[in-house]
Amino acid sequence: MIFYKNVRFKLIVWYLFILCLILIPFSTYLYYSLAKSLREQLDYELKAKGEEVKNILDDYMERNEIKFLTKDRGMKARLNAVSEYIHIRGSNGYIIYRSERFKKHPLPSRHFNFDKITPENSITQSIVLGKNKGVRVITLLAREKKGPDCFVQVGLPLKDINYPLNRLLLTLVIAIPTTLIISSLFGWFFVYKSLNPIDEITKTARKIGDGDLSQRLKQLKSNDEVGRLVETFNNMISKLEESFKQIRQFTADVSHELRTPLTIMKGEVEVALRKRRLPEEYEKIMNGILEEVELLTKIVEDLLFLERAESGVIKLNQEEINLNFLLGNIVEQFKTIMERKKLDFYMHVEPEDIVINGDAMQLRKLFLNLLDNAIKYTDEGGKINLSILSTGKYAKIILTDTGIGIPEKELFYIFKRFYRVDKSRAGDTGGSGLGLSICETIVRVHNGRIEVESIPNFGSTFKVFLPR
């Protein structure tokens, strides 16, 4: 993969871009804020020094002797003590006094607009003298009582504010790239740590793509988005593995269920074709084949029913159903078989009829399967009890037998397709292993539930709850 298309690279670039958006405006603001603050401080100091010079000149101004200022050595010392940059000129341009600094680097008068200067309004501006020597100069107006006005100009070197500004600028120029470099390294590390589970997911997904569904990601200790993604991925793979196991098991079971009747039919046809037989013998063979065809048809219909139920395409023909009447009819169908096996059957119903809304055909299939199983797995001379009760919002049907029972570890699986508890008796009972799965599906689509309790060698109890 090209590095700049890598998610890590993109995240780092965005991280550095956002960091730049923060650092650069902040540094710019910091620099100009400091520059403004230092300039205001310098201007305040200049104003004070300018007023101080005006006060020093007051005596000469009152006596109208300002032109004799240069002859007073004490006055020069006082002015130099105020600032090394002092320039005093008359309104006609005549230079009255000029400090040594301004003698070496004269002030260019063209930079000053003396007409706008009044006793109340001074002007402060920055100028460059000589070899890039910046000076901040304030110009004030001083008036003599009898003579002409004069302009007092006092300056301070800009190096006093340029030095800290340059130091700050140098610090920022070094600090910002250094911060970006260090941040990118730390960012790359944290991004790598954060996205490493994603790489593991990719590697595991590739292994799963090769057919190894046993692969799992190492669960992270953190409960962040990546941790939840790993947990979700592992759960998904577990369900996928279980689904594939069920598909393989389903394929094997279907193959087994279909192979037995097909083998029987093939054998009977081969027997019929070996020699000429009487019509009665052909009829017997055809009847055997028909039984096997009916068994195959039932298996396919049951599978189609379960598939439609899981797909949610089953439409129930809802109607009012009298459970007492429905179960009474079903019991009558099995009466002969129960008498043949000498089973002691007892049916308990409440005095009032229990009526529910449901699909009569599906509910009939439900109770036919349950009662058929109870009779099949109860030995001769056993007992079967059927109770129909009303428990508030539900109708409760309890079917108890004294059959072979179901081991506790098998109870979780008995509603799965093709599952048989006693596989050695599967051929004897003639079951396909779909009956209880169909029962659970019918109850579920009726918004009810089915429960089972069982003790091996003592019997089983099935409880069906259907909303009224």
**Full DSSP string of 15-73:** HHHHHHHHHHHHHHHHHHHHHHHHHHHHHHHHHHHHHHHHHHHHHHHHHT-GGGGGG-H
Pair of tokens at residue 192? 């790598």
Residue 401: the pLDDT is 93
Pair of tokens at residue 449? 């539930």
Q: Supply the mean pLDDT for the chain.
A: 81
Q: Is 145 helix (H, G, I), strand (E, B) or coil?
A: coil
Q: Which CATH code of 1.10.10, 1.10.760, 3.30.450, 1.20.120 fits the domain covering 3-165?
A: 3.30.450
pLDDT band at 62 (very low <50, low <70, confident <90, very high): low
Instruction: With beta carbons less than 8 A apart as the criterion, state whether 237 and 215 touch.
Output: yes
Instruction: With beta carbons less than 8 A apart as the criterion, state whether 253 and 417 touch.
Output: yes
Residue 268: the pLDDT is 78
pLDDT per residue as tens digits for the range 90-112: 777 778 788 888 888 887 777 77
In the predicted model, is pLDDT for residue 84 greater than 80?
Answer: yes
Mean pLDDT of 176-182: 89
Q: What is the DSSP letter of 144?
A: -
Residue 346: the pLDDT is 92
Mean pLDDT of 121-135: 82
Element (H, E) at 451: strand 449-455
Mean pLDDT of 266-277: 79
Q: Is 342 exposed, middle or buried (0-12, 13-18, 19+ CB in 10 A)?
A: exposed
pLDDT band at 309 (very low <50, low <70, confident <90, very high): low
Q: Any residues with CB less than 8 A from the CB of 176 and at least 6 apart, and which?
A: 23, 24, 27
Residue 70: the pLDDT is 63
What single letter denotes the amino acid at residue 106? P
Pair of tokens at residue 122? 């001074």
In the predicted model, is pLDDT for residue 185 greater than 50?
Answer: yes
Q: ∠ CA(356), CA(439), CA(414), 5° rounding?
A: 145
308/306 Cα distance (integer angstroms): 5
pLDDT per residue as tens digits for the range 317-328: 889 999 999 999
User: What size, in residues, is the chain?
Assistant: 468
Taking the whole predicted model, whether its pTM rises above 0.85 is answered as no
**Taking the CB of residue 181, how many other CB atoms lie within 10 A of it?**
11
Name the most confidently modeled range: 113-122, 221-230, 327-336, 431-440.
327-336
Q: Which fold has domain 225-311?
A: Helix Hairpins (1.10.287)
Q: What is the DSSP letter of 112?
A: -
Contacts 24+ apart (CB under 8 A), 260-264: 260/427, 261/292, 261/293, 261/295, 261/296, 262/292, 262/296, 264/288, 264/292
Residue 425: the pLDDT is 46
Higher pLDDT, 300 or 28: 28
Residue 148: the pLDDT is 66
Residue 426: the pLDDT is 47
Pair of tokens at residue 414? 């008995």
Least confident of 253-257, 293-297, 423-427: 423-427
Mean pLDDT of 224-249: 77
Higher pLDDT, 444 or 285: 444
Pair of tokens at residue 335? 């009466």
**Rounded to 10 degrees, what is the CA torsion of 69, 75, 79, 85?**
40
435-445 and 360-376 are packed helices; what angle lies between their axes, rounded to 10 degrees? 150
Of the candidates 456, 313, 466, the residue with the CA atom closest to the CA atom of residue 377: 456
pLDDT per residue as tens digits for the range 366-409: 998 899 989 988 988 899 999 999 888 889 999 999 988 888 88
Higher pLDDT, 1 or 46: 46
Q: Any residues with CB less than 8 A from the CB of 67 and at least 6 apart, and which?
A: 96
Of the candidates 301, 262, 333, 313, the residue with the CA atom closest to the CA atom of residue 434: 301
At the fourth CATH level, which superfamily is domain 318-467?
Histidine kinase-like ATPase, C-terminal domain (3.30.565.10)
Instruction: With beta carbons less than 8 A apart as the criterion, state whether 8 and 185 touch.
Output: no
Residue 67: the pLDDT is 62
Ordered by start, the domain boundaries in the chain are 3-165, 225-311, 318-467
pLDDT band at 462 (very low <50, low <70, confident <90, very high): very high
296/262 Cα distance (integer angstroms): 9
Q: Is 212 helix (H, G, I), strand (E, B) or coil?
A: coil
Q: Is 280 exposed, middle or buried (0-12, 13-18, 19+ CB in 10 A)?
A: exposed
In the predicted model, is pLDDT for residue 115 greater than 80?
Answer: no
